[in-house]
Chains A and B, each alone.
Chain A
Amino acid sequence: MTLLSLRDVTKSYPVPGGGRQEVLRVAQFDLGEREQVALAGTSGSGKTTFLNIIAGILKPDGGQVLLGGRDLVGLTEAQRDVLRAENLGYVFQTFHLLGAYSALENVVLGMAFGPGPDPQLARVLLERLGLGNRLHHRPHQLSVGQQQRVALARALANRPKLVLADEPTGNLDPESGLEALGLIRAMCAESGAALLLVSHDPKVLATFERCQDFAELNQARGEVPA
């Protein structure tokens, strides 16, 4: 069953001189429930814009973005915020943990915007990810790999239907990267969440049964007249 469906989605930004720079043009993209898909893309190819549109952070210029049957394009920003908090987990390349909060607090705070804070669940998640003795450590007191796992716990804490991962192994060494990737995939599978992962690392991409070249998916035309 389809969880995510994009049709004729475009996104452009104004450029000096009156024209517009089209950065995204995706005719069709589908992702099934519990499916795990990798997108291969280089830096600046528009893949982060693509993920941000799926996350409801950005609104496309046109097209249709159906998540669980609801079209994000027709929702207000506040409605997209709620949808994001309740249905999506986002793992960033640089993790984007809040420095003033402990590992546990980072996860609990993420829950506050969704179904509500559940410190016990957050604790269990972090323990599952091997951080049982790092619950009260601040991000700067954790290794990069540990920060990555806190970010993963935060992304999974609201029991999302879809996890978006933007270069999640980009800041890790190859061995740790593959280990983290395995963890992400296993945790998503376990929680029943679909995974849409973007990476330019061939070793990462090679582990996915379904891997799409983002350059083929994105048919953006570059600078276009206003």
Chain B
Amino acid sequence: MSLPLGTMVRIAVRSLRQHFLSTTVTVISAALAAGLVMAVFSVARQSSQAFQGGALGFDAVLGARGSATQLVLNSVFHLQTSPGNLPYKTYQEIKNDPRVAEAYPYAVGDNYRGFRIVGTVPELFTEHRVDGKPVFELPGHGQWFDPSRRQAVIGSVVAAETGLKRGSDFHPTHSLDEHSDHVHDEDYVVTGVLKATNSPADRVIWIPIEGMYRMAGHLLRGNGEEYHAEAGEAIPDENKEVSAVMLRLKSPDSGFLLQTKYNKEGKQATLAWPIAAEVQGLFQRLSWVSKVLVLVAYLVVVVAAGSLLASLYNTMNERRREFAILRSLGARRKTLLGVIVLESTLISLAGALLGYAICFGILSIAAGLIRGETGVVLDVFAYHPAMLWTPIGMLVVGAFAGLVPALKAYSTDVSRELSQSAA
């Protein structure tokens, strides 16, 4: 008579409880493996999607001649240094190009406690929309900055990490180095905190571009000669510069034509278009990191399976008497085999379930780090197919890992074990 599954489960659970310490260690090891695999796949996919959506509806970015990747990193992700500046007239030219729907200038060069200060125009906030919805929103009583005053609106991450809020004031630090000793005398007042966009923009302090031009110590070289803005005097457009121009194009054809104009025929500017393709290319170049992480995760699974096998195998010698007794009571060999495979499967099951907690723990930590570093927000509980196939895979791996000790139990010599333990 075959033993009912319920009885087999009870025998297996009793045995696991009897070896509580090794069971616990093995479950934790399996949980780490499952959690790591699920977290790695989830972070990889979500960060890729989030970064590719980080362009906030812009199709292209125009910047100084150089690497398109550096241009995207600098102007979209607010990372790395600026590849250089463009004359203001280049901004005006592309803004008036009939193929361009929207164009907003960025001027960078300062930071506050490591958060980049970007000079721009208020139209970026009031006119830029994606699918008819404004990209930037000011909750509460916040107001956009007045382009003629020393005012700023700040991203949600900046607010959370610096404590700045509406009405707060701050002094920008010169350069992109947060440890720079050169703190500007200019005092800026926060007029609003932007609603989170879940993009790198949440890590930015936005000020009027005019303010960037007029910051003490900032030199403009729009026409090739150094110019220092004086208070009360208008700055001639020919002296102004921009670090980048964010663009929304009227059609994909416009991208091809502008790309030809700036990248092939021109020599002073670089057009990074389409931004999504640049980001994807960047991710592809960094894909080895993801592959290494996946490989490490799989190695942890192998180690966990080995640990499971060794843990069960090591108990086999002390359990041979138990197996012999069960056999003498009528248990079949395959029943013992089933009990051991069930034990390893139960360990894997417990590990897989605990793995979800580990996965969400890793994702919470990763989400915090990524949000802090890039402004991109990961959804800790976002579904990824790995969250389904990893536990199933763990059960299969666990069952196979249990086969070796199970075969040892299967081959128990009842007569010898009973007579030896009687001696």
Contacts and interface: CB of A to CB of B under 8 A. Distances in A.
B15 A82 contact: no
Interface in A71-97: 77-78, 81-82, 84-86, 90, 92-94, 96-97
A115 B332 CA distance: 15
Interface string B61-79: 0000000000000000000
A113 B422 contact: no
Nearest to A53: B415
Give the interface size class of chain B.
Answer: 20 to 34
Given A57-B328, A90-B328, A117-B7, A101 B414 contact: no
Contacts of B214: none
Nearest to B333: A77
Interface string A107-126: 00110111111000000000
B18 A112 contact: no
Contact of B415 (A49, A77, A101): A49
A14 to B, nearest CB: 14
B329 A110 contact: yes
A156 interface: no
A146 interface: no
Contact of B1 (A52, A90, A113): A113
A129 interface: no
A90 B422 CA distance: 14
B182 interface: no
A46 B327 CA distance: 21
A55 interface: yes
B325 interface: yes
Contacts of B3: 112-113
B329 to A, nearest CB: 5
B415 A109 contact: no
Contacts of B252: none
A81 B330 contact: yes
A81 B415 contact: no
A42 to B, nearest CB: 15
Interface of A: 48-49, 52, 55, 57-58, 77-78, 81-82, 84-86, 90, 92-94, 96-98, 100-101, 109-110, 112-117, 154
11 contacts: A57-B327, A78-B334, A81-B327, A81-B332, A85-B331, A94-B421, A94-B422, A96-B321, A96-B421, A112-B4, A115-B1
